[in-house]
Every structure is written in structure tokens, then in C-alpha cells.
């Protein structure tokens, strides 16, 4: 009997030890998940800022396409304006200048998804900046990324602020002060969980946190509809929803009669490279003209927008 009793005690102790170990492991894993999810901990030195071209051209144009100069390293030099059109002047270090100088991948590079899957055959012009890992940087997130990078790189961090789908406004200045996003279901709040941080790694952690809980619906709530004749770089074609879609005006050219044409760029689901989207009405011409953007059936990137989809982010971009 004594032997059996000892065995039972040993078994109880083993079970207790196993349960305690499981609890400790769960707490450890849960704590790590919580710290990573809220952005208290984040990857260091993994991601790079959006790079601007130092050299506008490289090599020799080998593409017979009249709209594409394959030696161009940025939109300003890669995509040529239509005959009779000239690019509008851009303020130095303004948003249009930034959009025109973002480094591109070599001509002919296909659009790829976050998991390496090829989305297109390489006819699009693809921007050369990372997707940040995982299926986060989709269409609205790409817009959020480009706007935020511009403000970050030009010392205007106080303008980086976005609402989540549940309505919570998440400001980068709050994040920089050590506040982190805690979200469960429909609950979301900013808690002081970290020391003050102001570096690129922390900035990207902020973007990842926003991208998890923002989308076309929340972005739509931050925008106002505008008329087509007011359209300018940085404006959006946006339908908010689940799913919705959004593309951004990234360049503009004008002819002697005052008619403008536009380049549009965007990402999509699944998360994929930010790229110049084609005009389905003009397969060999990437520019969108006024007639392409009028009415209630605006065809862009396999998606149909309406005239009320032309919008401007309320914070304004210059």
C-alpha cells in the first residue's frame, strides 16, 4: 500500500509540474505575442525606407514602346508623357516630386505578391520598395505607406495619423511617445507600454499596427469627394468597403489646351508590389485622360469606380 501511495504522490507531482510548465510556456508565448502584436517589440534593421533615385537613368533604352524608356529609374524618366503633353512642375521636396523620384524595379519586372507569387507578366511599372512581410500591405495599406513615408522622410511626422476601421485615431506622434495599440475584437486603445522611440524600425512597427486594423473603409472616412477638374497628385479613386479598392494619382501631365492626363498606381489583395496600373481602354498607353475618368463606370485595374469615387485625403498632401 505504501508503495502505491508513493506512486500516486509522484504522479500528482509530475502532473502538477506538467501543468505548471504548460502555464508558464503559455504565459511566455502569450506575452511574446502580445508584445509583438502591440508593437512593443518589433524587428530591428529588417526593413528599409522607400528609396528615391539618385540617378534618373541607367544604361540605354531597349524598349520600342513610345511610352516607356526602359533605362529610366523612376516614374519621371521611365514613363513618357503623351505627344503634346508635358509634366506639370513639381515643388522641390513636395509630394509630387517624391512620387516621381521613388526608385523603380528594372523594366520588365513582374508584380509579385508578399509570398513571392507572380501576379502579372511584367508589363507594369513596379516600385522598388518592400511589402513589409505577411499579407498586410494591400491596396489601402500601400496608400498609407506612401503617404506616411513621405511625411517621415520630410520631417513632418506630426501629420502621420490614420483611423482604424472602428474609428480610433492612431497618431504616429503618440506612438513615438511610447503608446502602443492594444486591440481585441472591436476594442482598440492606445496604452503607454514603451519608452519614447523615434527611429525607422519603430515607424515601420507603427505602420504594421495601423495596417492590421485599417483599410479602404476607414480610409474612405478620412476623405472627401472632389470634382474631376480638381484632381491632383496624391488624390485617390476610392471605394470603401470589405472589400473595397483604392488607387492613387501619382503623376500628371498637361497639354497646351489645359487638358490633363494622369498616372495611377496601387496595390491589391493579396498584398503585392505597388505599381502603375494600366488603362484597360488604352492597353499600350498607361495614362488616364479625362474621358477615361468621367461617368459612373471608371475602369481601373480590373475594378469599376464611379464619379463619386474621386476623393481627397482630408489631411491634405502637398
Local structure of 222: helix, strand or coil: coil
pLDDT digits (tens, 9 = 90+) for 58-77: 888 888 889 999 999 999 99
Beta carbons within 10 angstroms of residue 24's beta carbon: 10
Amino acid 31: pLDDT: 46
Amino acid 317: pLDDT: 66
Question: Which residues lie closer than 8 Å to 224 by C-beta, 6 or more apart?
Answer: 311, 312, 314
Find the mean pLDDT for residues 98-116. 96
The three cell numbers of residue 33 are 505575442
The three cell numbers of residue 93 are 521636396
Amino acid 4: pLDDT: 60
pTM value surpassing 0.95: no
Per-residue pLDDT band at 163 (split at 50, 70, 90): very high
Distance of CA 42 to the CA centre of its chain: 18
The three cell numbers of residue 188 are 482598440
pLDDT digits (tens, 9 = 90+) for 249-263: 999 999 999 999 999
Of the CA atoms within 13 Å of residue 227, those in its CB half-sphere come to 2
For residue 30, pLDDT over 60 is answered with: no
The average confidence (pLDDT) of the chain is 89
Find the mean pLDDT for residues 8-37. 51
CA separation (Å) from 279 to 68, 87, 169, 318? 14, 19, 35, 26
Per-residue pLDDT band at 36 (split at 50, 70, 90): low
The three cell numbers of residue 109 are 519586372
CA separation (Å) from 197 to 40, 173, 179? 10, 10, 10
Rounded Cα distance between 244 and 238, Å, is 8
What are the residue ranges spanned by the domains of the chain?
A: 1-38, 44-318
CA separation (Å) from 19 to 11, 33, 96, 105, 189? 12, 21, 60, 53, 33
Find the mean pLDDT for residues 84-101. 96
Per the listing, cell 486594423 goes with: 213
Find the mean pLDDT for residues 250-277. 97
Amino acid 302: pLDDT: 85
Amino acid at each position: 500500500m505504501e508503495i502505491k501511495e508513493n506512486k500516486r504522490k509522484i504522479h500528482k507531482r509530475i502532473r502538477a509540474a506538467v501543468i505548471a510548465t504548460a502555464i508558464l510556456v503559455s504565459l511566455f508565448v502569450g506575452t511574446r505575442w502580445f508584445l509583438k502584436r502591440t508593437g512593443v517589440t518589433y524587428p530591428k534593421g529588417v526593413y528599409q525606407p522607400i528609396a528615391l533615385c539618385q540617378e534618373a537613368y541607367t544604361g540605354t533604352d531597349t524598349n520600342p514602346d513610345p511610352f516607356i524608356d526602359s533605362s529610366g529609374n523612376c516614374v519621371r524618366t521611365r514613363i513618357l508623357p503623351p505627344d503634346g503633353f508635358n509634366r506639370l512642375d513639381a515643388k522641390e521636396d513636395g509630394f509630387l516630386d517624391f512620387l516621381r523620384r521613388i526608385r523603380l524595379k528594372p523594366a520588365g519586372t513582374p508584380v509579385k505578391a508578399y509570398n513571392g507569387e507572380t501576379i502579372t507578366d511584367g508589363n507594369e511599372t513596379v516600385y522598388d520598395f518592400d511589402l513589409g512581410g505577411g499579407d498586410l500591405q494591400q491596396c489601402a495599406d500601400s496608400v498609407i505607406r506612401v503617404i506616411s513615408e513621405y511625411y517621415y522622410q520630410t520631417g513632418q511626422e506630426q501629420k502621420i495619423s490614420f483611423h482604424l476601421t472602428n474609428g480610433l485615431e492612431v497618431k504616429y506622434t503618440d506612438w513615438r511617445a511610447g503608446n502602443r495599440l492594444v486591440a481585441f475584437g472591436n476594442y482598440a486603445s492606445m496604452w503607454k507600454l514603451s519608452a519614447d522611440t523615434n527611429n525607422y524600425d519603430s515607424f515601420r512597427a507603427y505602420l504594421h499596427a495601423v495596417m492590421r486594423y485599417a483599410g479602404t473603409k476607414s480610409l474612405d472616412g478620412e476623405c472627401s469627394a472632389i470634382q474631376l477638374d480638381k484632381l491632383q497628385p496624391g488624390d485617390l479613386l476610392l471605394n470603401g468597403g470589405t472589400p473595397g479598392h483604392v488607387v492613387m494619382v501619382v503623376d500628371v501631365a498637361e497639354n497646351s489646351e489645359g487638358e490633363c492626363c494622369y498616372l495611377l498606381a496601387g496595390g491589391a489583395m493579396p498584398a503585392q508590389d505597388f505599381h502603375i496600373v494600366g488603362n484597360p481602354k488604352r492597353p499600350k498607353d498607361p495614362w488616364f485622360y479625362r474621358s477615361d475618368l468621367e461617368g459612373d463606370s471608371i475602369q481601373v485595374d480590373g475594378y469599376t469606380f464611379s464619379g463619386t469615387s474621386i476623393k481627397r485625403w482630408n489631411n491634405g498632401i502637398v
